[in-house]
Copies of this chain bind each other. A is one copy, B any other.
Amino acid sequence: MSEGTYDSFCPVAKACDVIEPRWTLLILCELWLGTLRFNEIRRGVPGISPTLLSKRLKDMERRGLVRRAEINGGELGYETTPLANELQPVVNALGKWAHRNLDMDLSIDKPDARLLMWKIRRKIDTNAFPRRKTTVIRFTYPELAEEQRNYWLVARPGQPVDLCLLDPGHEVDLFIRADLKAMTSAWMGWSSLRTEIDANRIALVGDQKLTATLEKWMVRSIFATAPKQQVAA
């Protein structure tokens, strides 16, 4: 039933009752990124079934982590509560611990371009873009099959950045061609954008200003600043 089942007065046990059910923390992370709607959460939390997401969101609502809220048009979405938000620094510390210590090799062996682009999209800083003009950036991962190779980020002034899997037809301001692992690695902070560009694993063609300000508008994972632990010599 997803009831708390440790019958202990230990606060850690109480906390575990709340955070242990599978997907709970990942759903919170996605909501903290600003995701509002059911199917958006699905995209940001790869692998969860709609059934389980639905159930988990209800569990989380019952526990006071999440509430249903109106988006700007009478539609319903999800948002985190203050109770959940107090947990955010803890979850970040947890992520930093994993970033420092845990081997990521397995996951980067099967990187997921669509998920990566979804994450990149969320953190694009449009302040570095022209104010009055739509900016379009095309990412290409040549190693992938034709249909999964290209992604367009479309930044219309004053609107959230859009991710397209099909050519939206706009003129492209900047073309980025990249090795998928290299882009993942740079975004996660295991390397840097500069390193990967210098090694020719990421290449930019197009608008000079966008190229020059890449590191400004392409904000990386919040874990990218945490240094990777040095392996003992």
Contacts and interface: CB of A to CB of B under 8 A. Distances in A.
Interface of A: 4, 6-16, 18-20, 22, 25-26, 29, 46-47, 83, 86-87, 89-91, 93-102, 104, 106-108, 110-112, 115-116, 184, 188, 221, 223
A108 B6 contact: no
B86 A18 contact: no
A102 B7 contact: no
A226 to B, nearest CB: 8
A98 B223 CA distance: 25
What is the oligomeric copy number? Answer: 2
A188 B96 contact: no
Main secondary structure of the interface of A (DSSP, over half): helix
B115 A11 contact: no
B98 A15 contact: yes
A143 to B, nearest CB: 17
A49 to B, nearest CB: 13
B93 A93 contact: yes
B90 A18 contact: no
A93 B89 contact: yes
A15 B47 contact: no
B7 A110 contact: yes
A123 to B, nearest CB: 13
A6 B26 contact: yes
A22 B25 contact: no
A18 B102 contact: yes
A83 B231 CA distance: 12
A222 to B, nearest CB: 9
A8 B93 contact: no
Contacts of A91: 12
Given A12-B25, A25-B12, A89-B93, A18 B98 contact: yes
